Amino acid sequence: MGRAFPQSVLFCCDHNAVRSPMAEAMMKAFYGQRAYVQSAGVHNDLEIDGFAIAVSAEKGVELSRHRSRSFDEMAQWGDDLSAFDLIVALSPASQRLALEMTRHAHIDVEYWPVMDPTGLGETREAKLAAYRQTREQIRAQMIERFGPPVTE
């Protein structure tokens, strides 16, 4: 850990339908109001993923009301990336875009390599297992970066 706890965090991934919404919801659940937390995707072409909702609910994390959005939509809605202290990219494409969009701002961009579970597994249980693995990767990275959850 050792780094200061940020006042605002943006999690991003490819579609804002699985990884970044899971990270946003977990961060809010684990650390409460300690930081302003949002998420976005490179694209907004998918709704929140049902498997992501299910595996988050297993840990008491609410995700069903999440509405996916892209970086472009954030800008259209008046959210300024320069207002964030930290951007956590959960996919290579989102890392590239975050670095490009913040090249003239003083914002830390971190890359957390987290598996994309979409398309993995043939059965419902196999799919759920893949999504649980992604959830646990996010959880482990979050605790390593921000410390033990205040609530869990």
Percentage of the chain beyond pLDDT 90 is 64
Q: Is residue 87 part of a domain?
A: yes
How many whole angstroms separate alpha carbon 152 and alpha carbon 143? 11
Compute how many other C-beta atoms are within 10 angstroms of the C-beta atom of residue 128: 16
Number of structural domains the chain divides into: 1
Q: Is residue 18 part of a domain?
A: yes
Give the position of tokens 């996916």. 68
Question: Is the model's pTM score more than 0.75?
Answer: yes
133-137: average pLDDT: 97
Domain of 131: which CATH number? 3.40.50.2300
Query: What distance lies between CA 70 and its chain's CA centroid?
Result: 12
CB 66 within 8 A of CB 38: no
Q: How far is CA 18 from CA 26, 33, 38, 65, 66, in A?
A: 12, 22, 14, 13, 10
Q: What would the pLDDT profile of 41-79 be if each residue is shown by its tens digit?
A: 998 877 888 999 999 999 999 998 888 888 888 878 777
Q: Is residue 135 part of a domain?
A: yes
Over 80: is that where the pLDDT of 136 sits? yes
Over 60: is that where the pLDDT of 14 sits? yes
Q: Determine which helix (DSSP H) or strand (DSSP E) holds 141, and give its type and residue range.
A: helix 124-146
Q: Is residue 2 part of a domain?
A: no
Q: Is residue 54 part of a domain?
A: yes
Q: Is residue 95 part of a domain?
A: yes
Q: Is residue 152 part of a domain?
A: no
Compute how many other C-beta atoms are within 10 angstroms of the C-beta atom of residue 2: 5
Strand, coil or helix: 81: helix
In the prediction, which pLDDT does 132 show? 97
Q: Is residue 1 part of a domain?
A: no
Range of the domain at 140: 8-146
Identity of the amino acid at 74? M
